[in-house]
Amino acid sequence: MKISNFDPVSVRIFNTRIRNATLLVLALFIVLVIRLWFLQVVSGPVYRAKSEHNRLRLHDIPPVRGMILDRNGNLLVGNRPSFDLFVIPEDVRDRSKLLQDLQRLVCLDPQSAAQRLSASATVPFRPVCLLKDMSRDMLAIVEMYKFNLPGVVIKVEPGRHYVYGDLAFHLLGYLGEISEEQLDSGQYPDSKPGDMIGKSGVEASWQTSLSGLRGGEQIEVDAEGRKIRTISIRLPGSGSNVCLTIDKDLQLTAQNALAGKKGAIVALDPTSGQVLALASSPTVDPNLFVGGTNKTIWKEIAQSNDFPLQNRALTGQYPPASVFKIIVALAGLEEGRIDSREAIFCPGYYFLGGHRFGCWRKQGHGRVDLHRALVQSCDVYFYQMGKRLGVDRIARYARMLGFGKETGLDIGHEKDGLVPTRSWKLKKYGVPWQEGETISTSIGQSFMLVTPIQMATMISSVFNGGIIYRPQATKWVGKSEANKDHEFAPEVIRKVDITQAHLEIVKKALIGVVNEGGGTGSKSRFVNFTVAGKTGTAQVVGLKKDESGSNKYIPVHYKDHAWFVAVAPVEDPKIAVAIVVEHGGHGGSTAAPIAKELFQAYLMRE
């Protein structure tokens, strides 16, 4: 019998090894099956989505923002192509290198760009805008090096264009990038990070109508992210247009008249309250903000001592000076405290309790009745009339004619101004009202403050029969004049409780201010039609003039503010203006000539 050459021990060891190897292979196979199950079943949707995103992309198609027009259909704000640089985070291989390259090529701020990319980490396939409104030179450079800039995409989107630069900046407003707080507020449901929205003026007030509805497209891309074809598309809905009540040419005239000055002009249609011009100086060109706000430029504007962002027409609060004599005259006539035929002697000063209140004309005006007192702006006459009325009666008529509260303009934010009373002072300062303060209030000084738009509303009501209209800057909103979503009719706030006979007395005197000898507003006079108005010189601080009565050596920031309010033509009022020039001196010499320019531009066109 033949015996096997294999040692039983060796065979047992060999079989054990075979069994262990089989178990190891089986275990590895089980692990592989489990891994495949995990990848296919558990993580399948995630990888499927990534695969699709590598091949398919969803791109926003921004809507074309609506245009802004003047009352005659002239384009004030439109759109132009804007070349914007986007980055798709998922396609970026080396973020640090990419940002360094973009900084070198197009002066991109790497810190700001890195923050934007980090904020979008949860949506890696969404394009992040890093630079808006690139110049043609920047565009050419990026296109030249684009193969070495993975993840970079150039999009051509509609960019805002303010046709006349700084024209009506404070009314039109400007665009800025939407903030996180605004996104979270729920007020902008169709907006996304990087979108530009209205920050002030018309752009902000009519944001929803102007912005339109965004569209989108699904595209197929290659491995480098380049578009191969469009799979589906949803076209955006363009925004509605906004037609304003302002007149472009009149607005240009107003701004040119204020060039180099600080102040404001408001022009209204006295028969409807429509705003014909609204200018505030100094101003800003909103085109500076179209491509995003440059931090250096914004800091320079925001910290300027001239406050160019302030809309002085709505928020500038000034003593009304002698223009306020219109209020005192109407109050005195209505309350029976003034007889228009009564003459008061003006020696150039008035004493009350040992205090001397001077008249602007040192030598005095002699004997003046109400008519001559308004024509020549006699302070002494109104000191005495104000004393007869008392501050609370004066305040009641001031409020009746639109002072002390917002006018309700449909665009922008207003200040209330201030109409003081006895109770107001006691509550504010804890001390009683003094009779001397009534004397100052009666010529528009003391605590009294008004805004230019309030002044324009007041003078309009005197010449339209006593109607206070809500100022209106928007004429219609819609795709076109034939296809309007909204159209705005004149809105009457109230009819002032003043008899027409008393209004006529004051109107006649205001005609004399411009057209009679000795009238303080003669520099606004026309031969072709009749102008009526009232000058004012608002004291900023109490300073003594030199012996000649001049204030030419007074520092500019201490000089008086110049006021003029006027209406033309008196026979058929078409335009009412309120003009204030800060530290401009006398209203008759500084502000009245500006009114003449405005009337020339609006009423004497070819």
- Asked if pLDDT for residue 234 goes beyond 90, the answer is no
- Asked if pLDDT for residue 25 goes beyond 80, the answer is yes
By the 10 Å C-beta count (0-12 exposed, 13-18 middle, 19+ buried), 164 is classed as middle
pLDDT tens for 239-260 read 999 999 999 999 999 999 999 9
**Residue from 518, 568, 372, 533 nearest 455 by CA:** 533
Which pLDDT score is estimated for 551? 54
pLDDT tens for 587-597 read 999 999 999 99
* SS3 category, 176: strand
Peptide bond into 555 cis (omega under 30): no
* SS3 category, 219: strand
Which pLDDT score is estimated for 122? 67
**CA separation for the pair 427, 419 (Å, rounded):** 14
- Asked if pLDDT for residue 432 goes beyond 60, the answer is yes
Structure tokens belonging to residue 551: 């204030």
- Asked if pLDDT for residue 279 goes beyond 90, the answer is yes
Q: Give the start-end residues of each E strand in 122-225.
A: 128-131, 152-162, 175-177, 196-198, 215-221
Q: Looking at domain 248-284+310-603, does it have CATH number 3.40.710.10? A: yes
pLDDT band at 552 (very low <50, low <70, confident <90, very high): low
Cβ distance 378 to 535 under 8 Å?
Answer: no
Q: Which residues are catalytic?
A: 322
Q: Helices (H), strands (E): how many in the chain? A: 22, 23
Structure tokens belonging to residue 312: 């002085």
Ranges of each domain in the chain: 8-42, 57-243, 248-284+310-603
For residue 605, give the DSSP letter: -
- Asked if pLDDT for residue 544 goes beyond 70, the answer is no
Structure tokens belonging to residue 554: 């007074």
Structure tokens belonging to residue 136: 């043609």
- Asked if pLDDT for residue 124 goes beyond 90, the answer is no
CA-only gyration radius of the chain, Å: 36
Beta bridge mates, 474: 244
Which pLDDT score is estimated for 547? 34
pLDDT band at 51 (very low <50, low <70, confident <90, very high): low
Count other C-beta atoms under 10 Å from residue 492's C-beta. Answer: 11
| CATH number at 57-243 | 3.90.1310.10
Taking the CA atoms of residue 320, residue 554, residue 595 and residue 327 in that order, the dihedral angle to the nearest 10 degrees is 20
Q: pTM value? A: 0.83
- Asked if pLDDT for residue 545 goes beyond 50, the answer is no
Q: What angle do CA 591, 594, 598 make, to 5 degrees?
A: 140
Mean of pLDDT over the chain: 89
Question: How would you label 294-308 residue by residue, b for 16+ Cβ within 10 Å and e otherwise?
Answer: eeeeeeebeeeeebb
For residue 450, give the DSSP letter: B
Cβ distance 380 to 343 under 8 Å?
Answer: no
- Across residues 547-573, what is the average pLDDT? 78
Which pLDDT score is estimated for 224? 57
pLDDT tens for 52-96 read 555 676 777 888 899 999 999 999 999 988 888 888 887 888 888
Cβ distance 321 to 539 under 8 Å?
Answer: yes
pLDDT band at 34 (very low <50, low <70, confident <90, very high): confident
Contact residues for 28 (Cβ-Cβ < 8 A; gap 6+): none
pLDDT tens for 448-480 read 999 999 999 999 999 999 999 999 999 999 998
Beta bridge mates, 82: 157
Give the N- to C-terminal CA distance of the chain in Å, as an integer. 138
Q: pLDDT exceeding 90 applies to what percent of the chain?
A: 59
pLDDT band at 196 (very low <50, low <70, confident <90, very high): confident
Which pLDDT score is estimated for 403? 98
Better-predicted residue by pLDDT, 155 or 553: 155
Peptide bond into 569 cis (omega under 30): yes
pLDDT band at 212 (very low <50, low <70, confident <90, very high): confident
Which pLDDT score is estimated for 567? 98
Structure tokens belonging to residue 195: 């979108």
Contact residues for 357 (Cβ-Cβ < 8 A; gap 6+): 349, 350, 351, 379, 380, 383, 436, 439, 440
**How would DSSP label each residue in 397-443?**
HHHHTTTTS----SSS-----B---HHHHHHHHSS---HHHHHHHTT
Which pLDDT score is estimated for 47? 60
- Across residues 347-364, what is the average pLDDT? 93
pLDDT tens for 134-174 read 888 888 998 888 888 888 888 888 889 999 999 999 999 99
Angle of helix 248-258 versus helix 592-603 axis, rounded to 10: 160
Which pLDDT score is estimated for 223? 60
Which pLDDT score is estimated for 549? 44
- Asked if pLDDT for residue 49 goes beyond 60, the answer is no
E strand or H helix at 201: helix 201-205
pLDDT tens for 479-488 read 988 899 999 9
Task: Find which of 31-40, 350-359, 461-470 is predicted with most confidence, using mean pLDDT.
Answer: 461-470
**CA separation for the pair 128, 557 (Å, rounded):** 48
**CA separation for the pair 346, 359 (Å, rounded):** 8
**Residue from 471, 463, 451 nearest 567 by CA:** 463
Which pLDDT score is estimated for 226? 64
E strand or H helix at 243: strand 241-244
By the 10 Å C-beta count (0-12 exposed, 13-18 middle, 19+ buried), 577 is classed as buried
Which pLDDT score is estimated for 227? 67
Q: Give the start-end residues of each E strand in 439-513.
A: 467-469, 474-480, 483-487, 492-495
